[in-house]
Amino acid sequence: MALPGVSSEPLRSGYETVIVGAGVQGLAIAYELARRGHADVLVLDRSWPGGGASGRNGELIRSAFASREWCEFFELSRQKWLGLSSELDVNVLFNRTGYAVLASTEQQWQQCRADHAFQQQLGIESQLLEEQDARAYLPAVNPALVRGAVIQEDAGFAHHDSVVAGYLLNAARMGVQVCCGVEVTGLLRQSDRVIGVELADGRMIRADTVVNAAGGHAGVINRMANLELPLTAARLEMIVTQSLRPFLRPGLAALELLGYCHQTGRGEFVGGTELPEPDRTSSVNGSWNLLQDMATKFVRLFPLLAGAKLLRHWAGTVSQTPDLAPVLGPVEEVPGLVLSVGWVYGFMGAPAAGELIAEYLTTGRIDPRMAAMGIDRVHRGDWIREGSLVVEAEI
C-alpha cells in the first residue's frame, strides 16, 4: 500500500520540473512551486519521503548566527516556521521554546558577545546572558561548562516526520507527483543542457528543469552532469532517551562539546555530537564510537543523564561543503540544472530554500539571500565564515 501522498500513477514521459530527492528540501520546493500554480512537478526518491537526513536530524531551528549570509537566510526560514502549521494545515509540532548557544570558555564567550552585537545590527532579536543568568536559564547544565549564552527566544525545534508529511500531503493535493523506490542513474543532456533524467529501469523522463535535492547522494547526481563541487558525504548521528522529568526548555548548542540537543514535550532527550573531523562513511547504522562520544559529552553537560536509558539511536547522511553553507540556485555552466545541495542545516533551512528556489523557477529572479549561497562563491573559493556552528568547518 502506498504511503499517503506518494503516487501510484504511472510516470509520464515529461514534466516541467523533476526534483531528485523527496526529503524536506525537495518536498518544500515542490510544494512552493505548486502553490505558485506550477504543479507539473515530479519528485523522485530511491527510498521513501524523508528516508535520508530529513527524518534523521536534530530538528533545531534558529536564525541567530554569526554571519550576514546565515542570519538573513535563516531569519526568512524562521519567520516561515512560525506560521508553517497554519499554512500547511498540519501540526508540524514547532515548539517555540527558544534556542541557546552556550559558551564554556572565555574565547567562546567573547565570540558570543560579538555574535550578539552583530545580530542586533541586523535586527535579529537575541539576548546575551552573563554567567549567573545563563546558569539560571539552564539550571540542569553542569555549571563548570557555563560562561554565558546567546538566547533567541522565538526559535526552538519541530518534529521532522510531521514536517515531511505536511509538505508531502500538500504538494500531492495540489497535483505534484511524488514517486518513491525509483532511482535516478543518469541525466539526459542536449549539448551542455540538462533535459531530463534516466532511471535505473532504463526509462527516460524529460524535464525543462532538474533540481538536485538529493541530500547525501547529491554529489553523485552532480557528477552525472560533469559538475564537480567540493561536497563531502558525511554521516551525523543522534540519540533519544527514555522520557525524563522536564529539565531543558530551549534547544541548545554547546560549542565546547560540538553538541546540540533539546527535550521533547514527552520528556525525551534528543541530541547529537560531532567529531572534529567529518565521519565520511555512508552507512546509516549507528556506530559505537559516536554513541560513546554522545553519551560521554551529554552526561558531562547534564549530569542528571547518567544512567538514562537509550530509546533510539539513528544516523543520516548529508553532503557538506567546506564552509558548511548550502549551494543553492542555477548552474550557469549546466543550464537546466538547479541545486539545493550541501546542506548540514537543511531541515532548519527548508522553508526558506523552498520559497526562494520556487520563486527563481517561476520568475527567473534570484533573491539576494539565495544569491549569497550560490555556486559562484564555491567557484571563487569565497567561503562564508560562520563562527557559531557546532559542526567543524574545513576552511
Q: What is the length of the chain?
A: 395
How many CB atoms sit inside 10 A of residue 285's CB?
Answer: 10
The DSSP secondary-structure symbol of 279 reads B
**Which amino acid is present at 224?**
M
Average pLDDT of every residue of the chain: 95
Higher pLDDT, 284 or 209: 209
**Which amino acid is present at 147?**
R
Residue with cell 517555540: 96
Give 91's contacts (C-beta < 8 A, 6+ positions apart).
Answer: 85, 162
Does pLDDT of 391 surpass 70? yes
The DSSP result for 84-147, as a single string, is: HHHHHTS----B---EEEEE-SHHHHHHHHHHHHHHHHTT---EEE-HHHHHHHSTTS-GGG-S
Tens-digit pLDDT profile for residues 105-145: 999 999 999 999 999 999 999 999 999 999 999 999 999 99
Does pLDDT of 7 surpass 70? yes
Domain locations in the chain?
Answer: 14-55+161-230+323-380, 95-156+232-320
Q: Give residue 200's Cα distance to chain centre.
A: 27
d(CA 114, CA 64): 12
Q: Are 212 and 340 in contact (CB under 8 A)?
A: yes
Does pLDDT of 260 surpass 90? yes
Q: Compute the average pLDDT of residues 161-173.
A: 97
User: Could you tell me the fold of the domain covering 95-156+232-320?
Assistant: D-Amino Acid Oxidase; Chain A, domain 2 (3.30.9)
Does pLDDT of 225 surpass 50? yes
The DSSP result for 54-81, as a single string, is: GGSS--EE----SSHHHHHHHHHHHHHH
Tens-digit pLDDT profile for residues 61-101: 999 999 999 999 999 999 999 999 999 999 999 999 999 99
With vertex at residue 324, the alpha carbon angle to CA 194 and CA 229, rounded to the nearest 5 degrees, is 30
The HSE-up count of residue 265 (CA atoms within 13 Å, CB side) is 9
Write down the pLDDT at residue 3.
Answer: 81
Give 68's contacts (C-beta < 8 A, 6+ positions apart).
Answer: 122, 372
Query: Percentage of the chain with pLDDT > 70?
Result: 99
Phi, psi of 8 (to 5 degrees): -110, 5
d(CA 380, CA 325): 14
Architecture of domain 14-55+161-230+323-380 in this structure: 3-Layer(bba) Sandwich (3.50)
The DSSP secondary-structure symbol of 304 reads G
Does pLDDT of 317 surpass 60? yes
Write down the pLDDT at residue 1.
Answer: 47
Residue 202 backbone class (left: φ over 0; alpha: ψ -120 to 50; beta: rest):
left
* Weakest-pLDDT range from 11-20, 138-147, 291-300, 310-319: 310-319
Tens-digit pLDDT profile for residues 343-387: 999 999 999 999 999 999 999 999 999 999 999 999 999 999 999
The pTM of this model reads 0.97
d(CA 248, CA 269): 9
Does pLDDT of 58 surpass 60? yes
C-alpha cell at 209: 528543469
d(CA 302, CA 306): 8
Please list the residues that pair with 278 across neighbouring strands.
none
Residue 249 backbone class (left: φ over 0; alpha: ψ -120 to 50; beta: rest):
alpha
d(CA 328, CA 338): 7
d(CA 35, CA 358): 9
CA-CA-CA-CA dihedral for 222, 223, 229, 231, to nearest 10: 80
